[in-house]
Each structure stands twice: as C-alpha cells, then as structure tokens.
Amino acid sequence: MDAGYADVDITPEPGEELAGWGFYLNRRAAGTMDPLLARAMALGDGETKVVIVQLDLIGLTKEIVADVRAEAERRFRLQPDHLMLHCTHTHSGPAVYHTNGCGTPSEQFLISLRDSIVEVIGEALEDLRPANALRRFEGNFADGFAFNQPGKPDIDTALRGLWIEFADARPILVIHYACHPVTLGPNNEYSADFPGAVIREFNAYGTRALYINGPFGDIKPLSLAYKREGGTRETLLIYGRDMACAVREAMEQMQEWKPGPLRAVSRMVPLEAEVPALEELERGLQEARQTLADDSDDPMLRVDVRWHENILVKHQTGAIRELMQAEVQAIACGDVVFVGLGMETFTRLGQVIRHSAPDHHLIIGDTSNGILGYVATTEDVEEGGYSSLLACKILNMLPPLPGAGEKWATEAAGVVAEVIDQA
C-alpha cells in the first residue's frame, strides 16, 4: 500500500462572516486564533488511488463538491467516488454555504477554496510512497469533553484511528472521534477548534495528522454545558492535550491494518419528509410576512420568511424532492472503511451504520461531500427538537418525518455493506 499526505492553509483574510451561532448577528472574523487548513491523505494500491480531504470548515455545498471532483478527475484521473471531502464542522470558520441568518460566504473565498482543495489533492497524490507499517487502533475516551446536548444517554466514547509509517517520511496519523467543534462559542476569530488543537499536538512531535469527525449531531463539548459563551484559547489547549493523551494510550494497543484492493461506492440517499402543497407554502409565506411586519425586530421571524421563500422556489421549479437527498460514500481498504455522510448524524443513527459492519474498522465522517443538514432520531422529530425543526429552516430543508432518520441510516449501512461485499 502506498500513502501520501499534504496540507495547505485556507485561512481567509479577516472580514468573512463566520458560520453559525444565532440569527443575523453579522459575526465577522476580526482575526485568526489558529489557522484553518485543508489536509489530504492519498492511498494507492498500485492500480487504484483514493484521496481523503479534511477541511477546517463547517461544510461544503454539493456544487463545490461536484466542481472539485470534476477538476480532480480532469487533472489527476481521480474517479469522483474515490474522493471524499470531509469538513470537521468548526463554527469558528468562514461561511461556505448560505444559511438563513447564520452565515453567507463571499464569492472570493469560495473561488480560493476550490483552488486550494484541488491543490492539496494533487500534492497528496505526488507524495504517494510505499508504507512499511499500517496499523489501526481503538480506545475509550469516557472521561473526555463531550456530552449529549438533548440530554439523552446516547454518546460514542470510542476514539479510533489509523497509523501509517514510512522508511523515508514522517508518519501519518488519522484521529477519529465524535463531537461538535463549537468549543469557543460565538467568538470572532478563525479557529479550527479542538480538532486543530489535537492535530497541532501531534504535529509538534513530527507526525502528519488529520482529524475525521464522527456522528456528532447531538454531541457538544462541555465548554457549552455551563455557558453559551463557550471556552477560550486555553480550553482548546486543554482539550487538544487531553485527546492527544487518549490517542497515545489507545495506540499502545494497536493492531495490524491488513490492506486490500481499494474500492468505493457512493449514492444519494433520500431523507423522507412531507412535501407541503404549493398552496400551503404560498399561504404560509403570506402569514410569515405579515407576522414579521408586526414584529420586525424578531430575527427568527426573518428566518421563517426566508425559508418559505426558498422552499417555494424549490417547489415551483420541481427541485423540492431532490432537495432532501444526502450523499453516503464508502471507501474500503482491507478491514478499514472510510464512510462519508452528508449529514450531521445523531449518535444512535451513526451506531446503526457502525454496528452493521462489526468486523471492520469504520472511520465515519459526518458533514462530508456537501451537507444537507441534521438527521435525527424519531424521538427528536416527535419532540420537535432544534435539529428536526428550527435547523431545517436555517438550512432550507424540509422537516423530516418520524422514522426518516432510522431509514436513512439503514440505507447508509447498505452502502457500507455494498463496498465490503466487493472484496
């Protein structure tokens, strides 16, 4: 097996609107706490090549993913389903896609971002060289810094990863854990949040590291459990060191990673939702506009108006059903499978995917390859939780039906099974 690595700084100039954290705050970056990077790991088996890109960003649009994949295929002959674009989902990075009230990107940044992603893919492929040791590991980070925000018992405390050694290059480390990177709360500086902090810990010791964020839809860092303002630069340093210690402890029990032919499967999987009638949307828009006129200072009412306007356009153009689809991608190499989910997946649903392949080491990347939004449990949908209702209006999607999340996760598990069966 060959492997290669590359990274490139994608931190924009100050002034970009930051993603997330409240409605119409115009939260713009005044500076940089720590740089944002695009990191890429390439794998090759002599015939096939794949690339996993990790970005210190909140997410990508399907359009950006399609553009990058097309350019990578043209320049590097890399098949689209052999390229995974994973975002760690930091809320201290620039907006990359339009949301209602929670961030709008600049075209200048998007142009630069596309070029940088293609650049780091090419450099990782150029760095391909024989690996002389491949290992995988899993440990328990039970005393870590994550908690289930809706107050449910679901949480995956496992910390997983991969280790690749070379005779003539620094090792590559893949770290895999599940938690929203929102440690800093609604700050005003660029930051990769805790994934960047743990990567810097290993970089300081000569390791080339990247972080893949697991199913984290309902998981937040403890810095938000006590105050909405979140943590500080010191909090990030502590989180990074704590996770680095847990990774090193897990690595003491590493097992051999037995590689095999590289295989990939990618599919758009629908998330079931009730499609409102055109007349219902038109009536809802009129009511939302009237309500906003009566209380123009309420930002949530502005969100409601924008959602009705956007969904109405989707309905009128016939694109409303296509709207509720998210990509599921699986890239297999022996007993390791990288899984890209175009959603913010609740823990319980992520476990449906993981438990479907108990004999394989799954590295599941939420918010990969263009993000649709949250995929939550039936319980959350029936309770009208933030992820199943208000977040849908922010992200211009339809509220899902009860059971839609479980069905989506089951179909995602089928994609994983398909790539495993190709062996």
Residue that finishes a domain, picked among 350, 370, 390: 350
Q: Looking at the domain assignment, is residue 181 inside a domain?
A: yes
pLDDT at 107 over 90: yes
Phi, psi of 151 (to 5 degrees): 85, 15
Residues 29 and 85 grouped into a single domain: yes
Residues 171 and 96 grouped into a single domain: yes
pLDDT at 227 over 80: no
Nearest alpha carbon to residue 352 among 287, 412, 303, 297 = 412
Residues 153 and 247 grouped into a single domain: yes
Taking only the tens place, the pLDDT of each residue in 36-63 is 999 999 999 999 999 999 999 999 999 9
What confidence score (pLDDT) does residue 296 get?
A: 86
Cα 323-344-307 angle, rounded to 5 deg? 40
Beta-carbon-side half-sphere exposure of residue 155 (alpha carbons within 13 Å): 20
Q: Looking at the domain assignment, is residue 158 inside a domain?
A: yes
What confidence score (pLDDT) does residue 403 get?
A: 98
pLDDT at 418 over 90: yes
Helix locations, 258-331, DSSP H: 278-294, 299-316, 320-323
What confidence score (pLDDT) does residue 284 get?
A: 95
Residues 225 and 287 grouped into a single domain: no
Using CA atoms, how far residue 386 sits from 15, 218, 395, in Å, is 29, 10, 12
Question: Where is 38: in which H helix or E strand?
Answer: strand 37-44
What confidence score (pLDDT) does residue 25 get?
A: 85
Residues 200 and 291 grouped into a single domain: no
Q: Looking at the domain assignment, is residue 390 inside a domain?
A: no
Percent pLDDT > 70 in the chain is 100
Q: Looking at the domain assignment, is residue 411 inside a domain?
A: no
Residues 183 and 80 grouped into a single domain: yes
Contacts of 298 (CB under 8 A, 6+ apart): 292
pLDDT-based confidence at 291, cuts 50/70/90? very high
Taking only the tens place, the pLDDT of each residue in 309-332 is 999 999 999 888 788 999 999 999
Q: Over the range 402-414, which residues count as b (16 or more CB within 10 Å of their CB) and which as e?
A: eebbbbbbeebbb
Taking only the tens place, the pLDDT of each residue in 166-209 is 999 999 999 999 999 999 999 999 999 999 999 999 999 999 99
- Asked if 307 and 389 touch (Cβ cutoff 8 Å), the reply is no
Taking only the tens place, the pLDDT of each residue in 250-270 is 999 999 999 999 999 999 999
Residues 100 and 64 grouped into a single domain: yes
Residues 302 and 187 grouped into a single domain: no
Q: Looking at the domain assignment, is residue 219 inside a domain?
A: yes
**In the 8-state DSSP scheme, what is residue 387?**
G
Residues 241 and 296 grouped into a single domain: no
- Asked if 20 and 102 touch (Cβ cutoff 8 Å), the reply is yes
Domains: count for the chain = 2
Taking only the tens place, the pLDDT of each residue in 342-375 is 999 999 999 999 999 999 999 999 999 999 999 9
Residues 236 and 282 grouped into a single domain: no
Q: Looking at the domain assignment, is residue 197 inside a domain?
A: yes
Taking only the tens place, the pLDDT of each residue in 128-150 is 999 999 999 999 999 899 999 99
What confidence score (pLDDT) does residue 125 get?
A: 98
Residues of the domain holding 292: 278-322
Phi, psi of 250 (to 5 degrees): -65, -35
Taking residues 372-397, what's their average pLDDT?
94
- Asked if 345 and 409 touch (Cβ cutoff 8 Å), the reply is yes
What is the residue-averaged pLDDT of the chain?
A: 95
Structure tokens at 25: 């705050």
pTM metric for this prediction: 0.96
Residues 142 and 41 grouped into a single domain: yes
Nearest alpha carbon to residue 273 among 411, 390, 400 = 400
What confidence score (pLDDT) does residue 197 get?
A: 98
Q: Looking at the domain assignment, is residue 398 inside a domain?
A: no
Residues 75 and 197 grouped into a single domain: yes
Q: Looking at the domain assignment, is residue 328 inside a domain?
A: no
pLDDT at 88 over 80: yes
